């Protein structure tokens, strides 16, 4: 599965469009990680646990989107966009969407 | 009276810790950012949708990098004062600047062997414990784009 966030795949011709595909995950923060993050809040700096948590969740959303595209018979997704929204305090939704296409 | 003293100590200690450690962490982070930016300076990154040399492109791949950075207590305290008087909140400016540059660097690091990264999008979202209160505790920055190989 080939992914790009531009309208085409350079050097390839798009044969068919399958419409929009998307994947999302809603993740809550882990209590233990939250306590560590509380300490980090005093000193500042990177919250590695959160960075990992969010990138894992985003991978998950990407995998779900690719699965959906595969079931449609697509072999590439173009114009991929990420979006993040906080649903409730302590939980974040990670959403990814794009257009499923098949290229030669 | 004792209660008052304890309360003041509980407020002052995190601010002092934030001042000493926060400044050190930020200085080190900026050093590392500048070093790696120089290292990756030759990798062309644009916000354009078209490659600079379209006829040479062989592969295209989605790449991304993200980071969550928290502000320290001292800066939060400063920002609280600034909120009262108005004006630039330099404390937060450097926070988001660090986060954006770090996210872009991580994106570049994940695009090993690429010759150009196009259509870069940068997304910022604030993560805080009490989002209802609206105080920025930490920011997450995600940078993504399409890495091209010639």
The confidence score (pLDDT) of residue B90 equals: 82
B136: confidence class by pLDDT, cuts 50, 70, 90: low
Query: Rounded mean pLDDT of B38-42?
Result: 89
- Is A41's CB within 8 Å of B73's CB? yes
Helix (H) or strand (E) holding B69: strand B59-70
What CATH fold (topology level) applies to the domain B2-149? Answer: Translation Initiation Factor IF3 (3.30.110)
Find out whether B104 and B120 touch, Cβ atoms under 8 Å: yes
Of chain B, the percentage scoring pLDDT greater than 70 comes to 94
The confidence score (pLDDT) of residue B128 equals: 63
Residue B130, phi then psi, degrees to nearest 5 = -110, 80
Residue B40, phi then psi, degrees to nearest 5 = -100, 10
Find out whether B15 and B77 touch, Cβ atoms under 8 Å: yes
- The CATH code of the domain that includes A78 is 3.30.110.70
- C-alpha B71/C-alpha B58 separation (Å) is 42
Q: Which of B60, B64, B123 sits opposite A84 (nearest CB)?
A: B123
**What is the domain extent for residue A11?**
2-103
Alpha-carbon A74 to chain mean position: 18
The confidence score (pLDDT) of residue A62 equals: 94
pLDDT per position as a tens digit, B66-111? 999 988 888 888 888 877 887 788 888 888 999 999 999 999 999 8
- C-alpha B148/C-alpha B150 separation (Å) is 7
pLDDT per position as a tens digit, B5-33? 888 888 888 888 888 888 888 899 999 99
Q: Which residues of A touch B (CB under 8 A)?
A: 2-7, 9-11, 34, 37-38, 40-47, 50-51, 54-55, 58, 80-86, 89-90, 92
The confidence score (pLDDT) of residue A78 equals: 92
Q: Does B133 touch chain A (CB under 8 A)?
A: no
B1: confidence class by pLDDT, cuts 50, 70, 90: confident
The confidence score (pLDDT) of residue B134 equals: 47
Positions in chain A whose pLDDT score sits under 70: 29-38, 89-90
Residue in B80, B84, B61 with CA at minimum distance from that of residue B137: B80
Q: Which of B49, B70, B121 sits opposite A40 (nearest CB)?
A: B70
- Is B62's CB within 8 Å of A4's CB? yes
- C-alpha B150/C-alpha B140 separation (Å) is 32
Q: Which of B29, B67, B121 sits opposite A51 (nearest CB)?
A: B67
Residue B42, token pair as written in the block: 């030759």
Number of domains in chain A: 1
The confidence score (pLDDT) of residue B131 equals: 46
Which ranges in chain B belong to alpha helices (H)? Answer: 2-39, 73-85, 90-110
The confidence score (pLDDT) of residue B7 equals: 85
Find out whether A100 and A19 touch, Cβ atoms under 8 Å: yes
Domain residue limits, chain B: 2-149
Residues 6 or more apart whose Cβ sits within 8 Å of residue A64? A23, A24, A25
Please list every residue in chain A whose beta carbon sits closer than 8 Å to the beta carbon of residue B14: 42
């Amino acid at each position: 599965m080939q992914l790009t966030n531009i309208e085409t795949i350079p050097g390839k011709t798009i044969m068919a469009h399958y419409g929009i595909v998307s994947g999302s995950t809603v993740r809550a923060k882990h209590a233990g990680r939250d306590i560590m993050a509380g300490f980090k809040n005093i000193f500042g700096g990177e919250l590695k646990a959160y960075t990992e948590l969010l990138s894992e969740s985003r991978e998950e959303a990407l995998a779900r989107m690719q699965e959906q595209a595969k079931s449609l018979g697509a072999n590439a997704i173009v114009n991929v966009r990420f979006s993040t929204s906080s649903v409730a305090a302590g939980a974040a939704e990670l959403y990814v969407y794009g257009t499923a296409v098949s290229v030669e | 009276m004792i209660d008052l003293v304890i309360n003041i100590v509980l407020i002052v200690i995190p601010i002092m810790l934030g001042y000493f450690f926060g400044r050190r962490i930020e200085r080190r982070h900026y050093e590392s950012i500048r070093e790696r930016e120089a290292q990756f300076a030759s990798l062309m990154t644009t916000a354009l949708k078209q490659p600079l040399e379209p006829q040479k492109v062989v592969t295209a791949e989605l790449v991304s990098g993200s980071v969550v950075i928290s502000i320290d207590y001292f800066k939060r305290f400063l920002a609280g004062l600034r909120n009262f008087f108005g004006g630039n909140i330099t404390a937060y400016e450097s926070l988001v600047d660090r986060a954006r540059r770090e996210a872009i660097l991580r994106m570049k690091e994940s695009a090993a062997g690429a010759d150009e990264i196009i259509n870069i999008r940068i997304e910022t979202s604030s993560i805080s414990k009490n989002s209802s209160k609206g105080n920025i505790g930490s920011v997450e920055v995600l940078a993504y784009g399409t890495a091209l190989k010639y």
